[in-house]
Amino acid sequence: MTVASTAEYLKDLWPDELSETRFEVAVLPSAPLGAAGLDRWRVLKRERRIILYRLPIERMSRLHRYDELHKRMMIESCVFRAVAELLGKDPWDLAPERFRHL
């Protein structure tokens, strides 16, 4: 649910760039464990696909507080970082008004 709502939010902000992008959730990456560890997402630029891996996001993320709010924020962060990778942007540039404190 969090992946879908975050993806829709970003598609509303970047309609031209993300209109054809598909967001998927898989349990684990199919590739073996690499030197950098277990991937939390994979971006397939040519296919316009972002695959987020549920178990690595849920179980390998270190949260200072393990509650629903912080889990949601971690998932949102992964979606933002994956979209930023797809678009070649900094994650903070995707929704600058969202993070601007008045």
Write the CATH number for 15. Answer: 3.30.2010
Total domains in the fold of the chain: 1
Would residue 101 count as lying in a domain? no
Do the domain assignments include residue 100?
no
Q: How far apart are CA 53 and CA 65, in angstroms?
A: 21
- Domain encompassing residue 36: 2-95
Q: Is residue 25 part of a domain?
A: yes
102 in any annotated domain? no
The C-alpha atoms of residue 22 and residue 3 are separated, in whole angstroms, by 11
H-state helical runs in the chain: 2-13, 15-18, 54-60, 68-87, 96-99
Q: Which long-range contacts (CB under 8 A, 24 or more apart) does 55-58 make?
A: 55/27, 55/28, 56/28, 56/29
Residue 9 lies in a domain: yes
Answer yes or no: is 37 within a domain.
yes
Q: Give the contacts of 100 (CB within 8 A, at least 6 positions apart).
A: none
Question: What does each of the 102 residues of the chain score in pLDDT, given as a tens digit?
Answer: 999 999 999 999 999 999 999 999 999 888 766 656 788 999 999 999 999 999 888 887 777 777 888 888 899 999 999 999 999 999 989 987 765 544
